[in-house]
């Protein structure tokens, strides 16, 4: 009796925007948890002064963590990028609870937006490269002139050397 191997479904290739967003999101989830604990601890010490129960800090951090996880999972769609941006703005606004969160939120917001812009640019460049490669393989003579590797001189063909 032989057991036939089960064919696995091929995984969808993730783009640069998804990969970079997942990296920033993972670090930010950890920092959001710690920021929630800091605000909770500070509010817990001064319970009654603010009029807001201390558990609200933990619940707010938990909501932001869940929203960020959903945003990272949806990064292949524009709604994921927008949801992640909203979480970044809410994190920066959390600086009103503790001023240090302005700095932490600003750093993560800058990292998020940089990763989204750079990842989108890299994904577009990759798509253009593969489209040009497919055209070149199809025999389109105009596409053969669009060789991305041709724009970078090799050591053997270095035309930048001084003729003297």
Determine the Cα–Cα distance for residues 22 and 24; give it in Å rounded to an integer.
Answer: 6
Do residues 35 and 130 touch, judged by C-beta distance below 8 A?
Answer: no
Q: Alpha-carbon torsion 53, 55, 59, 61, what sign?
A: positive
Quick check: 93 pLDDT over 60? yes
Q: What confidence score (pLDDT) does residue 122 get? A: 94
Q: What is the DSSP letter of 98?
A: S
Q: What confidence score (pLDDT) does residue 50 get? A: 58
Quick check: 157 pLDDT over 50? no
Do residues 15 and 119 touch, judged by C-beta distance below 8 A?
Answer: yes
Q: What confidence score (pLDDT) does residue 29 get? A: 95
Q: What is the DSSP letter of 120?
A: H
Nearest CA among 68, 114, 71 for reference residue 91: 68
Q: What is the pLDDT of residues 27-56, one digit of tens each?
A: 999 999 998 888 888 876 555 555 667 788
């Amino acid at each position: 009796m032989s057991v036939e191997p089960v064919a696995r479904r091929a995984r969808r290739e993730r783009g640069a925007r998804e990969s970079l967003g997942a990296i920033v999101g993972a670090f930010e989830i950890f920092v959001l948890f710690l920021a929630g604990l800091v605000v909770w601890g500070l509010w817990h010490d001064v319970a009654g002064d603010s009029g807001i129960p201390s558990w609200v800090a933990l619940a707010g951090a938990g909501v932001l963590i869940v929203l960020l996880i959903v945003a990272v999972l949806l990064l292949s769609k524009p709604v994921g990028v927008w949801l992640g941006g909203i979480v970044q703005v809410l994190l920066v606004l959390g600086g009103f609870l503790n001023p240090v969160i302005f700095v932490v939120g600003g750093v993560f917001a800058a990292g998020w937006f940089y990763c989204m812009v750079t990842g989108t640019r890299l994904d577009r460049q990759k798509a253009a490269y593969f489209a040009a490669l497919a055209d070149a393989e199809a025999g389109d003579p105009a596409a053969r002139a669009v060789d991305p590797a041709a724009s970078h001189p090799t050591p053997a063909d270095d035309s930048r050397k001084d003729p003297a």
